[in-house]
Structure 1
Amino acid sequence: MPVLPVVVYPTSPTGGRRVRVDGEIVGLAYSLADVAELLRRAGLEGMDADDVARSELIEWRGGGPQVWAESPP
C-alpha cells in the first residue's frame, strides 16, 4: 500500500485542525484520536492516537501533535 502524504494544519478559529491526505482535505480534527479516525477513513488502517503523535509520515504545521485548542461548545 502506498504511503499518502498527510498534513495537519494550524488550529482554525473554531479550534480544530484541518487534515489533508493525498492532497484532499479529509476533515477537521480536535485531537490525535480524531486524526487517527480521519486517516482510517482515508484508508490508512491501524494507527491509533499514539501512532499519530509519533509518525514521521505526518507534516505538522503551526505546531506539533501536542498543539490543540479547546473543542468548541
Structure 2
Amino acid sequence: MPKKITIMFDTELDPELYSDIANTLWMQVSAMSDRGKRYGFQLMPDGDGELNKRMNADWDEIGEKWRWGGGR
C-alpha cells in the first residue's frame, strides 16, 4: 500500500526557501533509494503559481548541472 508524507509549515515560505527544502527532500529520498532499496516516489508541491514555477526552474537547473552525476 502506498504511503504518503505531508510536511506543513506554520508560516508562508518564500519561493526560494520552499524550493530549496523540496529539492533537499527529493535529493535525500533519492539517495536512499539508490542504496539498494529501489523504490519509486513523487514529490508534489501544493498549489500552483510562484512556488511551483520556482521549484520547476530549480529542478531544470539541477538536472542540467548534475545529470547522471556529471556536474561535479
User: Do both proteins adopt the same fold according to a TM-score greater than 0.5, normalized to the shorter chain?
Assistant: no
Q: Which has the higher helix share?
A: 2
Q: Give the TM-score, by structure 2 length.
A: 0.29
Structure with the greater alpha carbon radius of gyration: 2
> As a proportion of its length, which structure holds more strand?
1
TM-score normalised over the length of structure 1: 0.29
